[in-house]
Amino acid sequence: MSEHIELHPETENGTNQHSNLREVDKPAEHHSSRRARVLIKDRTRQQALRDRKKAAKSPSTHTINRAIVHAIMAELKAQRSQGVKVGDVSLSFVNILDLSYKHLTKGTHAGNSYSLDEVRIAITARIQREAPKPGDD
């Protein structure tokens, strides 16, 4: 009895016939609910925003936030090394902006991947944005 059992049947093009991969932008037929349509529209909008930022060589909000935190921590570390207590640390807004700008435009973290003007505009816009109020979900 020499029976051959094929565990993973493949089609002519060599892919598994059971894999149901679909295009990312094409919604599945069963996604007809209003919520699903909103999610797809939101996903498409967010991707378009990321593509525009990348084309303009502008850093994302996440990248800007990381650069600002990096600058704050560097400033804190510099003052702590001088013996200043954490409660007495005084952070300079100008130094934070300068360090975050340098973090995004120089060195190994960014190289030449961001436009200098776009970084300046993005950091300024990020800092000018109002903080969310409690309960604004």
Question: pLDDT tens for residues 83-107?
Answer: 988 888 888 888 888 888 888 877 6
- DSSP for 36-103, written as a single string: HHHHHHHHHHHHHHHHHHHHTT---HHHHHHHHHHHHHHHHHHHHHTT--GGG----HHHHHHHHHHH
Higher-confidence residue of 18 and 70: namely 70
Instruction: Give the distance, in angstroms, between the CA of residue 70 and the centroid of all CA atoms in the same chain.
Output: 16
Task: Give the residue from 80, 77, 70 showing the smallest Cα distance to 106.
Answer: 70
pLDDT value, residue 24: 54
Which residues, in sequence order, are bridge partners of residue 16?
A: 10
pLDDT value, residue 73: 92
The answer on pLDDT for 11 being more than 80 is no
Residues 102 and 100: their CA atoms lie apart, in Å, by 5
28-36 own/partner pairs: CB under 8 Å, 24+ apart: none
Please state the pTM of the whole predicted model: 0.56
pLDDT value, residue 43: 93
pLDDT in tens, 31-89: 568 888 899 999 999 899 888 888 877 888 888 888 889 999 999 999 999 998 888 88
